[in-house]
């Protein structure tokens, strides 16, 4: 049976760092409040003229190099982003051009903070059905561009960055898979007013700013994420106790720990980069995954569960054997 092997992973963070202390100069907040409520210490901010496609391109090049492959091998590029360079064309085709890829096809998916899981599930389906052989799955965001920098309840939470994963088509029996085992995606538009951007080409003709009822989002996050994780484990017959690592969407340290506690997962098994990166939306999972691969925590053969909830609401989980 054909499955998607995780051949390589890479990430990129803009050079500019904004610390919580630096944030104190922008809005009425404190390092102590931000750390206590969110676990965030600092975030990276894209430079002037640095676009989502630049971040995504850099992460993609690192992932392809890590996989030991050539850009000529790539025949599918999916970019998960809520902060595209332009309304159209898709950031994926812009990245395709920057990478000099001429094969296959490229498109964006838009599921905000769950975007990487949606992109992964989509790429996995194309590979399993024989429509692609080497997919670049990219999460890339410049949330700094859609923040209201006068709103302390949201602007302290987010950062910019990109992560990328290379999936290749392999044949093998399910017990031998070194890649995507299964994904589980959900959404419910009833909650679209709790987390949204108040602008867009069809509604207001302005780009708009992120608006969020943080405490309401928080309330839904732990329950919905835990539910997606347990559903996925039940569907695959994998016991939560057999999971080596959880790579969550990095929204807030308290959400990460809340989910771990609810499912009886040890805190040491939860990969957290929220302190260094803040919430980078669709980029946060591949950024965290890459950090844990590069520092030697996630090793080949480990079972890894990824999870996220984002605007929409969209949410879900993905189970892989790295
Ligand atoms: N600095 C100082 N004080 C602040 C700040 C700040 N940056 N922000 C809010 N406050 C104040 C509020 O004004 C309020 O003051 P008041 O009591 O005098 O009215 C007080 O702090 C408490 O505010 P709450 O909103 O109740 O604080 P809470 O404990 O809920 O924490 C937070 C807020 C961190 C946003 C939390 O609700 C959260 O993390 N929610 C989840 C958000 C999330 O994960 N979003 C991403 C989802 S994914 C995506 O798609 C983008």
Same domain, 118 and 198: no
DSSP per-residue codes, 96-154:
HHHHT--SSEEEEE--GGGHHHHHHHHHHHHHHTTS-SEEEEEEEEEGGGG--TT-HHH
Q: Could you tell me if the CB of 199 is within 6 A of ligand 1?
A: no
Residue ending a domain, among 174, 191, 218, is 174
In the chain, the percentage of residues whose pLDDT exceeds 90 is: 97
The residues assigned a catalytic role are: 113, 249, 279
Query: How far, CA to CA in Å, does 243 sit from each of 28, 246, 297, 322?
Result: 41, 7, 13, 12
Determine the pLDDT at residue 226.
97
Which residue has the CA at smallest separation from atom 31 of ligand 1? 37
The 10s digit of each residue's pLDDT in 173-183 is 888 888 999 99
Rounded to the nearest angstrom, the gap between the alpha carbon of residue 308 and the centroid of all alpha carbons in its chain is 8
Same domain, 123 and 246: no
3-class SS of residue 54: helix
Q: Give the domain CATH number at 140.
A: 3.40.47.10
Q: In whole angstroms, give the CA distance from residue 93 to residue 265.
A: 39
User: Which burial class, exposed, middle or buried, applies to 176 when counting CB atoms under 10 A from its CB (0-12, 13-18, 19+)?
Assistant: exposed
Give Cβ neighbours of residue 190 (< 8 Å, ≥ 6 apart): none
Pocket residue to mutate for ligand 1, from 145, 192, 218, 283, most atoms within 8 A of Cβ: 218
Return contacts of 94-101, CB within 8 angstroms, 24+ apart: 94/53, 95/53, 95/56, 95/57, 95/60, 95/138, 95/140, 98/53, 98/54, 98/57, 99/57, 99/60, 99/61, 99/71, 99/74, 100/71, 101/71, 101/72, 101/74, 101/77
Which residue has the CA at smallest separation from atom 8 of ligand 1? 153
Q: Could you tell me if the CB of 112 is within 6 A of ligand 1?
A: yes
The 10s digit of each residue's pLDDT in 267-284 is 999 999 999 999 999 999
State the first-to-last Cα distance of the chain, in angstroms, to the nearest integer.
Answer: 18
Angle, vertex CA 165, rays to CA 162 and CA 171, nearest 5? 170
Domain that holds residue 81: 2-174
273 Cα to the center of ligand 1, angstroms: 19
What DSSP designation does 56 have? H
Same domain, 163 and 36: yes
Residue ending a domain, among 155, 174, 193, is 174
Same domain, 15 and 163: yes
Q: What's the number of domains the chain is made of?
A: 2
Same domain, 54 and 155: yes
Same domain, 158 and 194: no
The 10s digit of each residue's pLDDT in 191-215 is 999 999 999 999 998 899 999 999 9
Q: Could you tell me if the CB of 250 is within 6 A of ligand 1?
A: no
Which residue has the CA at smallest separation from atom 27 of ligand 1? 215
ipTM above 0.90, yes or no: yes
Residue ending a domain, among 174, 200, 233, is 174
Determine the pLDDT at residue 252.
94
The 10s digit of each residue's pLDDT in 38-75 is 999 999 999 999 999 999 999 999 999 999 999 999 99
Rounded to the nearest angstrom, the gap between the alpha carbon of residue 117 and the centroid of all alpha carbons in its chain is 7
């Amino acid at each position: 049976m054909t499955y998607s092997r995780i051949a390589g992973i890479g990430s990129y963070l803009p050079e500019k760092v904004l610390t919580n202390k630096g944030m104190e100069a922008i809005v009425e907040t404190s390092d102590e409040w931000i750390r206590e409520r969110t676990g965030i210490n600092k975030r990276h901010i894209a430079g002037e003229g640095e676009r989502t496609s630049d971040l995504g391109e850099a992460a993609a090049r690192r992932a392809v190099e890590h996989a030991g492959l050539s850009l000529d091998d790539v025949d599918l590029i999916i970019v998960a982003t809520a902060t595209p360079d332009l309304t159209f064309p898709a950031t994926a085709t812009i990245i395709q051009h920057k990478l000099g890829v001429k094969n296959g096809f490229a498109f964006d998916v838009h599921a905000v903070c769950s975007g990487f899981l949606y992109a992964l599930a989509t790429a996995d389906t194309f590979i399993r059905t024989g429509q692609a052989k080497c997919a670049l799955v990219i999460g890339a965001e410049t949330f700094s561009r859609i923040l209201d920098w006068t709103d302390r309840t949201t602007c302290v939470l987010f950062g910019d960055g990109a992560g990328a994963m290379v999936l290749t088509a392999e044949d093998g029996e399910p017990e031998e898979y070194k890649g995507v085992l299964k994904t589980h995606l959900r959404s419910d538009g009833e909650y679209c007013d709790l987390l949204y951007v108040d602008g867009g080409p069809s509604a207001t003709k302005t780009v708009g700013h992120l608006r969020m009822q943080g405490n309401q989002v928080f309330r839904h996050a732990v329950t919905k994420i835990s539910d997606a994780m347990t559903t996925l484990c039940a569907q695959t017959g994998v016991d939560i106790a057999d999971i080596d690592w959880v790579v969550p969407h990095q929204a807030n340290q308290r959400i990460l720990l809340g989910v771990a506690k609810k499912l009886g997962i040890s805190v040491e098994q939860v990969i957290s980069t929220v302190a260094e990166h803040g919430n980078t939306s669709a980029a946060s999972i591949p950024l965290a995954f890459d950090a844990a691969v590069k520092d030697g925590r996630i090793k080949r053969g480990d079972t890894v569960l990824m999870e996220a909830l984002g605007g929409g609401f969209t949410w879900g989980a993905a189970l892989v054997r790295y």
